[in-house]
Every structure is written in structure tokens, then in C-alpha cells.
Amino acid sequence: MRKKPLILAGVIALTVGWFCLPTLPDDADTVSSVLRDRSGEILHIASVEDGRVRLQADLDRIDPAYIEALIAIEDQRFYSHMGVDPLAIGRAIKSNFSAGEVVSGASTLTQQLGRQYEPRPRTLPTKMIEAIEAVRFDLRMSKDEQLERYLTRISYGSNIEGIEAASRIWLGKSPRYLSPDEIALLLALPQSPEARRPDRNPVAAKTGRDRVLDRMVTGGLLDRDTAIMAKAQPVPTQKRALPNRDILAHQTFGGGISTLNASEQARVARHLADWTHKQPVPVNAAAMIIHVPTREVLALVGTGARDHAGGWIDMTDRVRSPGSTLKPFIYAMARDDGTLDMDSDMRDAPTRFGSYRPENFTRRYHGTVTVREALQHSLNVPAVTALHAVGAERFRAALSAAGPEARGRVGDTKGEGLALALGGTGLSARDLAVLYTALGNGGEAGPLRFKPDAPEGEIYRLVSAETAKAVTEALRGAPVPKGFANMSGIGRIAYKTGTSYGFRDSWAAGLAGEYAVIVWTGRPDGAPRPGATGRGSAAPLLFDIAAPFADVVRDGTTIDAPTALKSVAAQTDDGPIILFPSSGTEVLQSGRGLSISVDSELPVQLFVSGAPVPRQGGLSVWTPDAPGFYRVSAIDTKGRSTNADIRVVTRDQLIDAPPQFR
């Protein structure tokens, strides 16, 4: 009679427990987010709570031999019981009673899964709760789903959870193909995760592994000779690092398959790291590569040096002054308006626009120049004149319609006005990527794509296809950066540099083949770097990154860029190149010295109309003493020379013109 109340109490407890236990847990947000490249290669793995690494298990990517051994050793009737194994319970009770102590457990894999979600004290009441929970799990989940959840959450020591993470960290490989010794180790570790950690207790890890190998022999899973050979294998004693080099990219792309290309991502990261650590002062860099036809982001590296100040900031997404990088789009809109063409003449001379009087970067003026020359040499006055004709607010609205939103003049909340042409606004590297990708796409702008299945998004025609082509061709003629003089044959790199006020930001943005490349260098805190220009700081990085995409046309034959880059340095070049002043331009006689700029691999001597040019503070400076025509000559130590014919004019020969073209 005493048994009836106990049975009734048990039934009541089971019934109450059934309805009071929480619903089936959702694992959606509890596994590590994994960023993969377009082919599925892992780029970054984010940790979950408490810094744990928990990778989603997939039975299709786990060695079937491991699954077979797991079931045989841990839960032989897993596929036949309903979460609880009465036969195992009876066997355990008998063994424990005979031994006078607990020597055997009866927990199924499903019950162990319940403990992974909510660990509890090992008492009889909790055993009953776990039993109820296991039945609920079994009714609501398939056996394969139970296994996958178990193999996702089971601990393997340290901060490692799940067989995928354990296999990669302890074995350095995916669990898709495992040897017998590896299977035995991955079965032994969860039985005593901390006591058998291979990096701390390799002897205990090997002992546990060998015991599992013996059980595999007993269970008919291995023959004895194979087990002996498996026991002879050493256990790993060090944890292997999981991919975590792209934490900033992960913040942008999230988990899953991205548009990134792992090799390009790594290549860009190497270029930026090499450059930043060679600089004399702490500085950083960021870069992007975009496939122009699809607008897919192939590489996004937000920092070149994590160990530098601000090294954990993604500088591709920070608003900075873009310097002169918007000039191509100003001229493009003016061309579409019919105001000018790339060969139209413009005045590069001191000009006032109301209270605003822009100056060229070098504070030198060239007189009459073509739009092409003004763009290639980044002259400020012609660009501001063109913007005045287009309309600053109209230009800003066009940028916003294309995607990038000009954030107002840096340090000025009243609006950018004409200073927008010289970087008086705020844009990010991603904004510039949208614009330069549009230039390569025949003037059509659209949002960048970070996922292969992302929608194309709304397309906006920023400029006409004909104008986009004309501007791109002009950018191909821009002087190559110092040190790349022999690479001027790489005509596919069409680029523009930019330097923000106070030398705070250095930019280079351009097109090479089917790819757009954006490079930023500077300090994340915005501190100035005197003398650091886009041409000197960012452009060399752009050429390094863009070179593999560029085609070289030599003697009518197109050569792939890597081959050309290797061979062009060995060829005889044409000697020094006079970058400033360029041939055919006019220079204002202002009483100040004119700094002559030359690109040459060898030392050069400069002459103006036969007279040597003195050097001042490391610069070759010539001061015109009278108006007229002059010849600037550069001769290197091999005797190779080049000339530039220029004209010096006085102020009264210049027109302090209203903002219009002559």
C-alpha cells in the first residue's frame, strides 16, 4: 500500500515537470559567428559568451567513423530509445549496488545535451528533471538534430566547445576526415575536459585516448594492430589559433558567406602591414578592392597595424576629408553640362570667388591649362572654378543620390560651398568606393555588395557613359608615384590622389582593369602628418595593390601585369620625368621660388635655360627673374635627359577672372 502514494507522487512530479520545464532552446544566436570568403574559406571566428568558441556542428562534415564510435561508447541505443534508456539505467543501478558506490552512469546523449544547456547538481531530483527534459527533446527533435546540438555544445577543455572547434584547435583540421587516434582523443576529452587538456596534461590526455582505443577494439570498431599503431601517435600539446585576422571585416560582413576573396584579403593586409611598420612614426592605413561590374567587395582591410593607436578602428567606415579625390566627378558633371571637355582651356591663376580664394597645393600657378592637365596635376583653382559652374549644392545632391552623403565641411557646420572641391566635406573610403566604381561602370552608381546574394540595389546615373570614359582616360595619364617611373606603361591604372587640410588624410583612389581600389593612410585620431601627401603616401600603396589587375600594353601586345612588373624594371627607361612644371604650361612670376619636381631612379641635375638650379632644404628651387619662355632640363647620372618648355608671366598678364572659363 505504501507504493501507491509514491507512484502517484512520481506521476504528479513528472506531469508538473513536463509543463513547467522551459521550451526547446534556440541555438540560433549561441554559436560563434563565422565569416567566410566567397569560396567558403574561414576568415574570422567570433567568440560567444565568456570568450568561448562554439562552432556549429554539421553531421555531413564529420567523419562517420567518429559518429559510429561516439554512439557505441556513449549511448549504444541512441537511435532506439526516447531520450532515456531504461536498460542502461537498470545496468547502472546493478553495477553501483554491487560496488557499493557510483561506478557507472546511465545518461544518454540526449540527457547530456540537456546538461549542456543548464548544468545542475548531480542529485536524484535533477536526474528526474533531466530525464523529463530528455524525453521532451526526443519528441521535438530528430536524432540527427540532437546529435548536431550535442556536438556543437559539448566541452573539449579550455574555451573550446563543439567538435568543429575542438578538431581545428587541437588537431589543426576539420573533423571531416579523422584517424583512429584523433577519433579516440576527441571522444576522451569531453569525458574529463580540463583534467585531460592536451596542452596542460598531455599524459592524462594520452591515457584517456588509449583507454578509448581499447574500448573501440572491444566494441569491434578497431582491430588490435590498428589500435597499437594509434597509441604510438603523440597527442597534440599546443592549441592552434583559429582564423581571427579579419575582426574588422567581420564587423561589416557579419557571419556567413561574404563577397570577400581570402587571397586578396590577405594580400592587401600584408601590403598595409608592411607599409605601416616601415613608417618612421606610428601611422595607419586602410584599403578596399571592389569588382566593378558586380560592385562586390573583394577585400576590405580596415587597419594596417592593430598595435598602433586606433588600430582597432575600421578606417574604411570613418568619415574623413577626401581631399582632391572628388575632382574627377566635378569635371565629369561639368562635361555633361556641356561647359567643358577634357581638352578645354582653363585658367590656373589667382582667382577670387566672393570671399573665397583657393590656392594650389604648391602655391604655384600654371596659367592656361587644359582640363585634362588640371585633373592630372590636381590643380585647385580650375577645380573650384568648375564646381562654381556646376553648383556646389547640386554637386552635393548628386553625390547623395549616388549613395555617398557629404557630411558637411569638416569643422564647419554652415555647409561646404566651393571648398567641397578641395576636401571641405566628409566622406568615407566606402563612399569613395561607390563613386569610383560608378566611374568604372560607365557612370552608373549603386550600393556596394557585401554578400553574394545581396540585391543589386537602386542604380543612379551619376554621369554619362561617354563622360565616365573620358575622365577615366584622363586619370590614366596622371603622373605615376615616385618609385614607379618605369611603370608608366601600366596604362590601366587610372587614379587620383587626395590630401586633406593639415596633412591629416592621404588618399589614392583608382581603377585597374575591372577593379576599383581605394587607399587611405593617416592617423585615426586625425593628427596632422606634415608633408604626407596622397601622392607620396597613399599612391604607392594603391599601385602595389592594383598592379595584379592592370594590363600593360607594349608594342601592341597586352601583357599580364605580374609579368610586366617583373620585366619592366629590367628594361632601359627613358630617363627622368619632369613632374612639375609640365611642358607647355605658364607660371606666375610672384617673386617666390618655384620648386621643380622630378621622378627619377637616379640622381639628377636640373637646369633652366642652361643655368643650374640650386637646391634649398633638399628641394630644387628656381626663382624666375623676368617673364618669358624658359626650358627646364633634367639630366641623370647616365646622361639621359628630358625637357619641359614653360612660360613665365606677370600678374598683369593674368586675368583675375570671375568664375568662368576662358
Residue with cell 606677370: 650
406-to-109, 319, 392, 428 alpha-carbon distances in Å: 58, 9, 11, 9
In degrees rounded to 5, what are phi and psi of residue 108?
A: -80, 170
**What one-character-per-residue DSSP string does 140-160 give?**
HS-HHHHHHHHHHH-B-STTE
Please tell me if the domain spanning 24-231 has the same topology as the one spanning 391-568. no
Domain ranges of the chain: 24-231, 391-568, 577-653
pLDDT of residue 412: 41
Which residues in the chain come in under a pLDDT of 70?
1-29, 86-106, 119-127, 245, 407-416, 483, 485-491, 551-574, 582-585, 590-592, 616-619, 651-662
The answer to whether 241 touches 53, Cβ cutoff 8 Å, is no
pLDDT tens digits, 115-170: 777 766 666 666 677 777 778 778 888 889 989 999 999 999 989 999 999 999 99
pLDDT of residue 102: 42
The answer to whether 605 touches 612, Cβ cutoff 8 Å, is yes
72-to-10, 79, 95 alpha-carbon distances in Å: 32, 11, 19
**What one-character-per-residue DSSP string does 73-132 give?**
HH-TTTTTSSSS-HHHHHHHHHHHHHHTS-------HHHHHHHHHS---SSHHHHHHHHH
- Please tell me the CATH code under which domain 577-653 is placed: 2.60.40.10
pLDDT tens digits, 293-345: 999 999 999 998 888 888 889 999 999 999 999 999 999 999 999 999 999 99
Helix (H, G, I), strand (E, B) or coil at 485: helix
pLDDT of residue 408: 56
324/497 Cα distance (integer angstroms): 7
372/637 Cα distance (integer angstroms): 32
The answer to whether 596 touches 624, Cβ cutoff 8 Å, is no
* Length of the chain counted residue by residue: 662
Looking at the annotation, which residues are catalytic? 74, 324
pLDDT of residue 24: 60
The reply to whether CATH 1.20.1250.20 applies to domain 24-231 is no
294/300 Cα distance (integer angstroms): 16
In degrees rounded to 5, what are phi and psi of residue 241?
A: -75, 140
Helix (H, G, I), strand (E, B) or coil at 462: coil
Q: Per CATH, which fold does 391-568 belong to?
A: Beta-lactamase (3.40.710)
pLDDT of residue 286: 95
pLDDT of residue 98: 54
183/230 Cα distance (integer angstroms): 10
pLDDT tens digits, 448-504: 999 998 888 899 999 999 999 999 999 998 888 876 754 544 457 899 999 998 899
